[in-house]
Structure 1
């Protein structure tokens, strides 16, 4: 029996029991040997006896092993582990004590979280996920919920309780331990197939709990999707009004199907960044137009013109080098390009004459000749395509134009837009993407950072306002 005041390992004095289960206990204790003065620590005990399941032992040992290798400022530091025999056999794990309140306690106290709070919390937690999920192999927490997130007085979020952690890839045919908390756990995790996107689902469900005041299991569902937009406001939760951007982002985080969720924490935080960045460093849509990017708005209409890469007064050095190389190889290039029509004619004559060997040679010439044609056309499309984006009547129209001719066009309602975000290409260049519910589409390649930020924020502002 563990009791307050008891000294463990002739060093740690138990002060307060924080959690008690049949075979597990968590205590706040004081480390009297710490220097320069005694400090508070957390000790997790696992009863080593008849009532203990071997799965519990496996998870406990895994938690010890994982915490020993982690070094992140928002994860409690491992201090020590031990086992004692008297008066009862216990295994122990000692870790850093984090001063603050867990988010479940704050919810129970009636604290309400604004959209701005959600952006800050989500960004911090996703940064922790990036650290964990990009270990080799990935480390999955598998029990993300408000009670396992501590908010310190500095507003820093700490991720605690790695008792359900997974640090190895699932293997077919192997037994597994079902872990997680109902409502926060995605369906694939109950089947033993947890992946990084499983932690993302749990985070999305946790953020919805903070926003609505209701646990995910208490929210209405349709086709296993949590319903939280204005039309499905919970009857006993907080009144919920979200921007279209955040609502769409949360829907993607909590999508029941893995294929519909963000694939990684890095992708999720990248998709969340544009709006959160806008609140910190606002960039007005009415700002000065640059050579490639022009943004025009009136109360009912938004028009964006993105000129081709090669419309720039100073073409990029790497493109000039490429063009110079192609020019020097002009005669050879003409011969290679001619392989396609030659191969076509050769194949046609061989088919008519029944020459099987000739058909093989013709097909080979076609393959060799098609490569430079496709490469050249793709280069022209990439460097000479301009994009026109228009928004009116709650729809977004995107047009790709080549020398003034529209060769592709798509029109989608604002409600189909899940994300608008920038993907870094090089140190000072980015591609701006728009994620519809069915596909992702590139709006512009190789924009400088300033133009990329102006474009993403101008589009997001407009959609939030008129979506």
Structure 2
């Protein structure tokens, strides 16, 4: 197709990629003389409905994105062919090498380089997952990450999915074996699914081997045998590349915090001893799978903490009426749970939930009793699925 003009404006220079019913072309915009990428989907008798749905979704979502590390949406047109019609998506062209090309050329990335790549990709994913509704890429892998002018770009949003409300299903199974989170095989996609793919990508970079081919102990990778990787970084990678969704990193913020500060040897929720609600407590706790509310007695009123799928909020109340503005943050920002106890004779304790740089402090007046501390520690840690540090 080299030399052919599409859409009365774009002269094809070469083919970048080809799949059944889909071509990716490098073309020159004859009006601006800039190079662009054209992604073509052929409308013929072989077209699958899911392919059309994914293509239209990619166009819709790219229109809404604006990030320096994501190629920009430039336009969309239809092109008549001799025996069919094609839909064409136009994007800015980024001249660089994919991480897959780097690996094929025999390049291995050091731990320091891999951590830098991890932070850059976590920054892009933070942007996507922070959209309302969140956007899940679903196909993060070395071939979909470009390295250009010392900057990383995330490309190919053909598998992208918006997750709204309680909708965590994708219906269409998409992704790449070895990089795709286990839950995606059943059509489910959540923010942590992209973190699994990120972990797989980073493993490939630091080992030069496809994750599915790395040495294993049982069903898990033998991280002790990874070359040139510190135990701390191997532990972090294993946390991302964890097949069990409940044991995997939950958010980009949580992953970034652990990458910078290490995964502390904290009390894991799964190992905690269940604690019952004390009979004489004035603290109320309501919990459901997607909602938690705690109300504590405080001076001249109450403090109420609420966490749902969208946000965390802390409100001061007096006689049941809100006093002042609520402190709120996105639910996905929650990364850490602490219980700090003073060294004074009264041993007053404070629970702190960290959401990004914001902290949500839970204190009771009178101070928590030990049974209340044990009960709330258990309930908060198991519900948030976060270890608790003291």
TM-score (norm 2): 0.69
Q: 1: CA distance between counterparts of 2:295 and 2:151?
A: 54
Q: Which residue of 2 aligns with 1:6?
A: 4
Which one of 132, 137, 160 corresponds to residue 136 of structure 1?
Answer: 132
Q: 2: CA distance between counterparts of 1:63 and 1:115?
A: 33
**In the alignment, structure 1 residue 101 sits paired with structure 2 residue 101:** no
* 2:168 and 2:188 in contact (8 A); partners too: no
Q: Which residue of 1 aligns with 2:343?
A: 402
**In the alignment, structure 1 residue 442 sits paired with structure 2 residue 383:** no
Question: Per-residue CA shift, 1:217-238, capped at 9, x if unaligned?
Answer: 11133443233x23x34xxxxx
Q: Which residue of 1 aligns with 2:122?
A: 126
Change (3 A) 1:401 1:186: same
Question: Per-residue CA shift, 1:158-205, capped at 9, x if unaligned?
Answer: 000000000134977987111000000111011111100000000000
Change (3 A) 1:422 1:45: closer
Q: Which residue of 1 aligns with 2:194?
A: 199
TM-score (norm 1): 0.58
Q: 2: CA distance between counterparts of 1:182 and 1:60?
A: 21
Which one of 58, 62, 79 corresponds to residue 63 of structure 1?
Answer: 58
Which one of 233, 237, 255 corresponds to residue 246 of structure 1?
Answer: 233
Q: 2: CA distance between counterparts of 1:168 and 1:82?
A: 27
Q: Which residue of 1 aligns with 2:19?
A: 21
Query: C-alpha displacement at 1:440, in angstroms?
Result: 2.0
Q: Which residue of 1 aligns with 2:111?
A: 115
Q: Secondary structure at the match of 2:205?
A: helix
Contiguous gaps of at least 5 residues in structure 1? 234-239, 276-362, 377-398, 409-420, 427-434, 444-467
Change (3 A) 1:439 1:57: closer
Query: C-alpha displacement at 1:80, in angstroms?
Result: 0.7
Change (3 A) 1:241 1:49: same
Q: 1: CA distance between counterparts of 2:218 and 2:196?
A: 16
Change (3 A) 1:373 1:51: closer
Change (3 A) 1:173 1:116: closer
Q: Which residue of 1 aligns with 2:87?
A: 91
Q: Which residue of 1 aligns with 2:144?
A: 148
How many residues are paired up?
299
Change (3 A) 1:187 1:367: closer
Q: Which residue of 1 aligns with 2:247?
A: 260
Structure number having the greater helix percentage: 1
CA RMSD of aligned residues (A): 3.4
Query: C-alpha displacement at 1:243, in angstroms?
Result: 2.0
**In the alignment, structure 1 residue 157 sits paired with structure 2 residue 155:** no
* 1:170 and 1:193 in contact (8 A); partners too: no
* 2:170 and 2:188 in contact (8 A); partners too: no
Q: 2: CA distance between counterparts of 1:30 and 1:172?
A: 40
